[in-house]
Structure 1
């Protein structure tokens, strides 16, 4: 045996030894425990789908019913309800097109190609994503090849539909806990990333670091996909909490998370403008007063406070006082401040309004807490106290 062959053999033995080691076995057992609920749901879904198709539809061999149920319930819990619907539609389209072609044109090479093109095209016209489109093509090919001659034309798509409906019912009635927990976790991440962006922008202004400001701008642009994920997670979580009896107690919390998405979206847009003007100021050498940099830093800390409250499962009302104090500080401009500096101050104030709305205020209430001038302080407790001391 050559030296290279001996080396490969030694490595193979080492890999096998690691795979058979106790730690490797424990890791596989841990993964099995984590996936066991999904495995059990797939098994129950397959059995129920077969039962529904044989008893209610009176189909003697409903192959596609348990297959569709297993495919749908084998999805991860993220966006599961939406994907179950998507897969069900895709499978049903593919099976129906396959049935039609086999019935009228038989099975063969050109029929397989035609079924694939037609099923995938119809799935796209139905608003399919890539997953639905591929499933439509795959199921059409299965009908046109493996089960083309069993004489059950036009019934198989009903089996697929029955399997998908069983899977949807199970996904709704026994969803994973992550479905209702994920929106709050995503909201915390988005707000925390917003706080990081603002904090990095303030530090870039202090250090006159244009590259750091540019990096913050790049990160700010990447917040939109995160916000889209949050919106999708909140929508699915609310659907599950509305329809699943075991998750209904989470409905009010999910409604609260859904309510923050709009003002959070606006706050992120404001922050992007703020970071952009900071990047411009550093690039062209415009001066930004230290007081304005402090405003950006305070805004970052207020945003992080909001994120911490969301992560703890509380409303963000605790962070209101931070924002109101910041609003008062932002009222005073600095004589001779550059255009970029004044835009930064304006965007701080606009972001404060949107974050106050995020804490549960109406937009009118939030605007009232952000004074327009030094002589127009917010109508909060501090002003009443000041007026009382003057009297």
Structure 2
């Protein structure tokens, strides 16, 4: 009996340990990982290119036989995000240079050994702190010092290793200033268009699942709704990268900088809209599963919301003002004031989420929050007079 229990526990532990692997092959997890790879592909390419150029300059131009620190420094620096990127590249380059210089000095004077490693770490990290370094620079100084202390240099290589680190940092600085030209506006624009398109598709699927009582489609729509948050995180990260890149790219046009700021203003209302439609999709799935009554007029509202989202997507893709989309949203807001006497809980929650999402999309299209709320009257008696 005890043996069976132990075997069952062991089996349970194995199954639990395999959970991350099973999660990793689920469609939602694979999609999230693919989005992360896509988001970081440009940084990966920059780091690889910087390492190659740094090696070429140190090895072929300067004639250093094994310029290990040139590509390493370039990759470490270019692996940073654009947020405060130039300042952090300078810090990292200084930290690497301090560590390499102190390590070379100790190795040439005292050789290698345990106490030399200790001394190099303490001295290099202390000098980095005295130079005004943050924790990142301080740790890099210590790490590079350890590498130098444990890798014996050949004759005449002491200065070359310090110079290799400077070459790598210089290459990273140039790439950081020029490479943002591709990523500042195009990637966030593409992603926001794609995200709003998925939002419209999800709402269409939700409406069709309600109309046809299709439980499978309702579940798929809910999964899509949940995945929108992952897409928004990727969009938010790429937009932050673009905003930071726009500050350091000397050749970037004023129009491109303005476009980056425009995409940035879309994120807060888009975030709220995604939260609201996720609740809407969850209640739609519950209504279909429980066979709750949902008035046709409510389903029409969901379809109208999908059409308004598709219109916004078209304007974003064409780079035209979003104002024309407001008319459909205001009309939908007026429709949403009518409740149905037989509507059950899920239906009423969906109607409320449609109304909230209308406010979010009106703000996204350029209205202030106060104006948007005025266009979504609480009752028929408070109908928008401009309507």
Where in structure 2 are there 5+ consecutive unaligned residues? 1-44, 122-133
Show the counterpart of 1:175.
180
Distance in 2 (CA, whole Å) between partners of 1:314 and 1:50 is: 50
1:275 and 2:281 aligned: yes
Distance in 2 (CA, whole Å) between partners of 1:369 and 1:182 is: 33
Distance in 2 (CA, whole Å) between partners of 1:137 and 1:179 is: 34
Show the counterpart of 2:294.
288
Query: How many matched pairs?
Result: 325
Where in structure 1 are there 5+ consecutive unaligned residues? 1-34, 55-59, 117-124, 384-391
1:1-391 map, 5 Å: 43=53, 47=57, 63=67, 66-68=70-72, 70-71=74-75, 103=106, 107=112, 143-148=148-153, 160=165, 163-248=168-253, 249-380=255-386, 383=387
Show the counterpart of 1:122.
none
Greater alpha carbon shift after TM alignment, 369-378 vs 351-360: 369-378
Deviations 1:265-301 (A, max 9, x none): 0100001111111111122221111111111111111
- Checking the alignment, whether the CA contact within 8 Å between 1:81 and 1:168 is kept in structure 2 is no
Deviations 1:129-162 (A, max 9, x none): xxxx9x9999677535545566887996786366
Distance in 1 (CA, whole Å) between partners of 2:167 and 2:85 is: 16
Structure 1 328/47 Cα, relative in aligned 2: closer, same or farther at 3 Å? same
- Checking the alignment, whether the CA contact within 8 Å between 2:93 and 2:165 is kept in structure 1 is yes
Greater alpha carbon shift after TM alignment, 144-153 vs 312-321: 144-153
Distance in 2 (CA, whole Å) between partners of 1:164 and 1:40 is: 9
Distance in 2 (CA, whole Å) between partners of 1:215 and 1:198 is: 11
What is the TM-score normalised by the length of structure 1? 0.67
Distance in 2 (CA, whole Å) between partners of 1:137 and 1:210 is: 59
Distance in 1 (CA, whole Å) between partners of 2:250 and 2:93 is: 28
CA RMSD of aligned residues (A): 4.5
